[in-house]
Each structure stands twice: as C-alpha cells, then as structure tokens.
Amino acid sequence: MATRTTCPYCGVGCGVLAHDDGRIEGDPDHPANRGRLCSKGAALGETLALPDRLLFPEVGGKRASWDAALDAVAEGFSRTQASHGPDAVALYVSGQLLTEDYYAANKFAKAVLGTANIDSNSRLCMASAVAAHRRAFGEDIVPGIYADLEIADLVILVGSNLAWCHPVLFRRLEVAKAARPEMRVVVVDPRRTASCGIADLHLAIAPGSDVALFNALRLDDAEHAAPCGIGAELATLMQWWRDTPRTVTLFSQGVNQSSAGTDKANAIINAHVATGRIARPGASPFSITGQPNAMGGREVGALATMLAGHLDYDCPGDRDTVAAYWGSDRVPHGPGLKAVDLFRAVGAGDVRALWVMATNPAVSMPDGNFVRTALAACPFVVVSDITHASDTLDYAHVKLPALGWGEKDGTVTNSERVISRSRAFLPAPGEARADWWIVAQVAARLGFAEKFAWAGPGEIFAEHARLTGLGRKRAFFIAPLADAKYDTLPPTRWPVGGPDRVAPETQRIVPTPFRAPVGAADAAFPLKLNTGRLRDQWHTMTRTGLVPRLMAHAPEPELFAHPLDAPGADGTLVRVSSALGDGVFRLRHDATLRPGDCFAPMHFTRQLAPAARVNGVVNAHPDPHSGQPELKHTPVRLAAFTADWHALAVSRDKLGPDLAPFAALAPVTGGWRAELAGTGAPEAAFARLRAVLDGPGHWIVLRDMAEMQFRAARIMHDRLQAVLCLGADHALPPRDWFVALFAEDVLAPAERRALLAGTQGGPPPSPLVCACHGVDAATIQRGGDTLDTVGRATRAGTGCGSCRPEILALLAARVPMLKIRA
C-alpha cells in the first residue's frame, strides 16, 4: 500500500508515493514528474524522523498546554491591538504551508485581526513575477505549462539554474532535447551553472542587465543590449529568436530577486507578447516558483498586496466581495506591509506582535543582522514550526508545534497551476497540530469560532473554491472543485473546465526602461555578491541538512570567486564583508565567473555554520512594484581570514556550532563532522576541543610540537567514538577517509595506526557527485567517456539524474575536476 502525496520542496510539485514499508518513490501517474524524483525528493524517507522536533507548546520557554498557549497568543494579539492599533500586529507565513493553512491564516489576519499585515516568504521568491503578471495580464496568470518546454524549439533559461533548483523539470527538458537534438537551449546567467551542461549557448550577461537583453529581443535592436556586455552570443540569440516562433523563456529567482525584478519579468513577457510567442503550444514566458506552494499562497491571497481568490485591493468591489463572503467588516481596504517593510516596522517598534509560521526569517531575510535585532526587540513573537532547530525559535515567546510533511493533509499548487493533494501517512508526533487548526483555535478565542468552524481541510478547500466563483470573472476559477471528492481529488489544473494554456484577454506591453541594480560596487566594496541554491539542499536545511548523502555533495559553506579577485589560495578561508555585515566561507577559485562577481550559497544557518549566514551580508533594496529584495547583487569585499589553527573533528554526537570563529557541521554515517578554525595557541585549542569530545572509552593521542600537528582518537570496544586532527593549516588528513572509518563497527589494527599517522594508504579522496549511488568524481572519470558508459560502469547519473550536468562537466574537463555550483 502507498499514500499518494506531493514533494514538499520545490515548485515543480512532483507526485510522491509513500509506501507503508517506508520507501519513497516518484508517482508514475503524476503529470509533473511521471515517476521521477530528484536527489532531494528521493531522500525524503531519510528525513521523516527529524531530531530536535518541537513536540509540545511552550510559553515563555516552558512547556504549556494547548489551551494555555492558544490563550497566550489570543491575549497577546488583542492586547497589542487594543493599545497600539490594528496594524501593530503582523503574520509572516510561508510557501511551505498547505493551501488550506494559508487560507486560514489569511482569513485570520484580514477578517479577525483586520490587518493586511500578512506577508509570506514567497515575497522573497516570486513576488516580482506576480507583479509582472498582474501588470501584463490584469491577473496573476502563469501562461505556460511544463509540456511547453518539451515541444518548444528554443528554450531560454533566464536567471534559473534549472538543473539544480528544479531538477525534474530540467530532466524533462534534457530528455526532450535528446529526442529532438535540433531543439536549442540557451542559458542567460552571469554564472556558468550546471544548467549549461545541455545548453547550445550561454550568455554571461552583466548582473542585472536582463531588461536590456529582452528589450533588444522585443525591438530587434542589438543597441538596447549594450548594458549586457556581450558580443557574438547576442547576435546568435537574436537570430535564433527571429527564426523560432516556438520559444519558451523560463525565468526564476535570478530575475525575480532584484530591485528591478518586476521590470525584468515584464521585459520577458513583453518580448513574447509583442512577437506572438504566447498562449500557443511551445511558446510562452514561464515563471517557475521556488517553493512547493508559493502558487497556493498567491491563490488564497496570503500576501500583503492581495485579497483571497485572486481578488485585488485595487479592483472596485473586490474587497467588498471578500468581506461579504467572510461576513466581516474588518477586512482592510488597502495593502499591508511587504516582507522587508514588515521587519523594518518590527525594528521600529510599529509592529509589536508577530506570528511567524513555517519559515525562518532570522536566516532567510536579507539584512539578517537587522532582522535578528528586530526580532529580539519585538515585545511578542509567536512561532509555529516543526523543529527547535530554526534560528527564529530563539526569539519566540510562544512556540507552537505544527505538523510536518507526511503528517498534514491539504493541497498544494505547482508552477503550472496544477493543484495536488498532499496527504498524511504518519501519525502526529507529540502534541503537534495542523496550522489551520491552530489558527482556527486562536480565531475562536477572539470571538470568531463560527467562521472558523471547519471539521477538516476539505471544508476549507471548498470554502476557498466557492470564492473563486464570486465577484468579477477571473482565470483563477476552481469553484466546481468545491463539490468534488476532496479525499480522492486527482491533480487538477486551473482554470477548471478552461483551456490548458490560459490566453489572457488583456495582454499589455508594459514600459520597461533599463535600470542598473541598486548599490553599485565602489572602492570600499568592489565586488558583487550573488547568492543561490546548492543542488542537494533546501532552504535553511532543517530537513536536507540532516541527510549524510545530501550533505556530502557540499559539506562546507563555500564562496566562489574569480582567481583574479581571490584573496588567498583555493581552499583557504575568506571573509566576505558588505556595508551590513560579514561572513566566513571556504574560498573556491572559479575561473568561469566574470571577474568582479562572486557567489555564495543561501542555506547555512546558526545550526550548521553560524559564520556563513550569508543574508547578514546581503542588502535588502526592494523592487518598487513587488517589494522583492535585491538578493543577488550586493557590493562586497573579500579578505583572507587568518586562522592560527584548523581542525577536523568527527564525533558520534553533534557538536555545538559555537566552538570556533569558523565552524561547519555536517552529518555523516554514524555521527557528525565539524570543520573548525580559530585564533590562539593551537595546543590550547587542541586541549579545549578534546575536552568537548571527551566521553567513555580511551584516547590515543599524538602531539608533534615541532610541526604543530595534533591527533587524537577516542575508542571504545574497538569502535571509533571521536577523532580530532588539528594543525596550523587546512592540510589535514583526508576527511572522507575519517568519515569512512567512523562508519565501521570495528577498527582494524592497521587502521588504528594509520589514524594517528593521518595516512590513508589508498588513493586520495574525491568529491561526491552522485548522491543516489554514492559515486565520486574520480570514479566517474575512470568510468567511461559518455553519460551512458559512465552510467553502465558506475551507476552514476542513473538514479534521480540531478548529477548528470556535473558528470558531463567532469567528462569535458577531465583533470582538473571542475566543481559547478547552483
């Protein structure tokens, strides 16, 4: 037996079969993935037993009953509103919520609290695409579907590393191109990403110059593309564009996360509308969302700028339609605070009660140091989450345990407007409850029990579906689903009963003059920092950061810089600083970057690498239309991070993350690995860390004072319990070898001796490439000359396929091995 559900990670929205025996498979009948899963989805079964689970409500740091916690939330919000007004409160919610949870939270904010101050972390993801759709089509309509990518003759990926961020969709594109080699794929991105593995052309445009490129395509005038700083590639793309009516332009965060994100998206849409490349099979602009249910949040209007059911504040009558349907005269008449402004208002003391649901703004918001200070100063913070291991929990006065994936029941909508059921197949742990239930309980305490008296998520879905049939006609129409069988609802694309490809009645060309990104590089901060995802990680790593085989792909936070800009050798530590803050990363030289650009991953938190919370460095300039901040363009400088000692520790238990100025923790089979670096006498650091690692068993220790090399291993019953290697530089014994020893039940005598000598005996370790089958780069390079021969010899690339672009790059580069980033 298996439960049909949906992957909780990216906006592709893959169907998942969760078997009773614990196996996770792709659902062969789901239209998004047809049985495929990427490395993250395939590892879902390894994330079900989350440690650090939040199991009971807490008030003021102490366990409380649900009644007491819900009373505290209701009292905190009503007290704040009574003394500071209706807009002194806010909700900050998440694209991780199911649509029914989202609907309940939105109704609670607008109909109960009477504030429009509810915004979502989707503001950081696709708000610019939403604003652009509304400007171009009068409604937030994604005009394309996934099949368009497969039948197009030209696919342009803009600001999207589809290979790593939406791997199953990339795999569909790869298969389509293999079947029709004449199909052309173009990547427009300042960086050479893994998606270039199947590209016929890569345009490494100057960061932030996308508007200029698409204005040039629309007007068929290369002069407009001058800010892009490209030559021959531009002429090629313009010729291919002229020759190819069936063109899809797929865009994502590289377009949206910008102070000109809305204009960028509109420039893309303009080019398609002006040339008729829209609403036809294989021809469309196509925004793809990062989060699993960003689309659901847009549908229910759980954003400060929207009303429910695709109704808008600026359309006459829409607000009254919602207010009448909900039977509340409190529904606000205008928009509330968008994410960046919301946290600024918290910092200014204007918002004094905040409820955070299923998201981690202490890490994910730009200008992160300011956000953490604001959260610390906020008089009343409520956090609903599944885990204690969220940096935002540190600031909560009330903690509410929510259900996680596999435990909760509802729907999600993916990037091609397909609504799918997300079903529970696990019991609720501890006292965890559904987010919609928590919201309804607080609403009841504030006098709105009747309007939140749902027996389950099916009733919420039906209420929302009916709303889409009220008021002015919209493309977002799912009213017939109100009477459908919720439990067995198959994946369904909206508009229900409408065409596959929405043909907007109003297609407008929106003026999009080119604007340079805010915050030009200057003498103090001469480089531009771009941020993005890693292949095997999701958001702030609360799930994927616990899976050894996913962490093995990139166990440390790395910053990539062109060799001309790098302040030290490859593999040394680097401090990156902006006007807002700084961070410490492992430096990687990358000659494929444009000189002047650098890149760092967005995922790391205080839980795994406190010094590498990159959003403490990133600026927060919002787009004037969407409010989406400039996450991909921050002026920075780099400097070598000088440490007196470097250490590798492997232990059975997770170490604290505050052991050293640089610390990067990663789970390994049977324990945890920590890379550490700090200042002060190495011998003293060795003694301190040994004390931290102490426990049952006996130590074997080696000190070489002349070379400043220290080794220690703790062994109990011939099994390794802890290892510590510390030296004056990073050239410590091979990490992968220690990790492999750690997985063994019994240590052989030769391994004991080698352990202290720090000599491995075998070939040097090589980075993991294929997470499904545990195949490293060296094995792949020995395995054959093509994807097929490597796959047959090593099985690499034959699982989820997420590593196939890296295998191609390895085969192309052979030695030295090239590491490609998201």
Chain contacts with ligand SF4 (rule: CB under 6 A): 7, 9-10, 12-14, 33, 37-38, 40-41, 166-168
**Nearest alpha carbon to residue 664 among 478, 672, 411:** 672
Radius of gyration in angstroms for the set of CA atoms belonging to the chain, rounded to a whole number: 26
CB neighbour class for 664 (10 Å; exposed up to 12, middle 13-18, buried from 19): buried
Q: Is the CB of 190 or the CB of 805 nearer to ligand SF4?
A: 805
Q: What is the dihedral of CA 110, 112, 114, 120, to 10 degrees?
A: -40
> Measured from the CB of residue 8, what is the shortest distance to ligand SF4 in angstroms?
7
> Measured from the CB of residue 95, what is the shortest distance to ligand SF4 in angstroms?
12
Q: Is the CB of 13 or the CB of 401 nearer to ligand SF4?
A: 13
> Measured from the CB of residue 449, what is the shortest distance to ligand SF4 in angstroms?
37
Q: Is the CB of 41 or the CB of 368 nearer to ligand SF4?
A: 41
CB 357 within 8 Å of CB 93: yes
Q: Is the CB of 7 or the CB of 307 nearer to ligand SF4?
A: 7
CB 573 within 8 Å of CB 587: yes
> Measured from the CB of residue 798, what is the shortest distance to ligand SF4 in angstroms?
16
What is the rounded CA–CA span in Å between residue 95 and residue 129? Answer: 15
Q: Is the CB of 147 or the CB of 756 nearer to ligand SF4?
A: 147
**Helix, coil or strand: residue 549:** helix
Task: Encode burial over 782-798: b for 16+ CB neighbours within 10 A, e otherwise.
Answer: ebbeebeebbeebbbbb
Q: Is the CB of 41 or the CB of 336 nearer to ligand SF4?
A: 41
> Measured from the CB of residue 27, what is the shortest distance to ligand SF4 in angstroms?
10
> Measured from the CB of residue 37, what is the shortest distance to ligand SF4 in angstroms?
4
Which residues, in sequence order, are bridge partners of residue 401?
Answer: 385
CB neighbour class for 746 (10 Å; exposed up to 12, middle 13-18, buried from 19): exposed
> Measured from the CB of residue 340, what is the shortest distance to ligand SF4 in angstroms?
27
> Measured from the CB of residue 315, what is the shortest distance to ligand SF4 in angstroms?
33
Q: Is the CB of 401 or the CB of 801 nearer to ligand SF4?
A: 801
Q: Is the CB of 164 or the CB of 477 nearer to ligand SF4?
A: 164
> Measured from the CB of residue 129, what is the shortest distance to ligand SF4 in angstroms?
18
Q: Is the CB of 143 or the CB of 167 nearer to ligand SF4?
A: 167
**Helix, coil or strand: residue 363:** helix
What is the rounded CA–CA span in Å between residue 626 and residue 426? Answer: 38
Phi and psi at residue 599, in whole multiples of 5°? -140, 140
Name the token pair of 482: 């109100």
Q: Is the CB of 14 or the CB of 105 nearer to ligand SF4?
A: 14
Residue nearest to ligand SF4 (CB): 41
* Residue spans of alpha helices (H) in 85-153: 99-107, 127-137, 146-151
> Measured from the CB of residue 412, what is the shortest distance to ligand SF4 in angstroms?
10
CB 407 within 8 Å of CB 426: yes
What is the rounded CA–CA span in Å between residue 128 and residue 256? Answer: 5
What is the DSSP secondary structure assignment for residue 111, as one 8-state letter?
I
E-only strand ranges, 641-696: 645-651, 662-668, 671-678
> Measured from the CB of residue 559, what is the shortest distance to ligand SF4 in angstroms?
25
**Helix, coil or strand: residue 482:** helix
Q: Is the CB of 340 or the CB of 358 nearer to ligand SF4?
A: 358
What is the rounded CA–CA span in Å between residue 540 and residue 544? Answer: 9
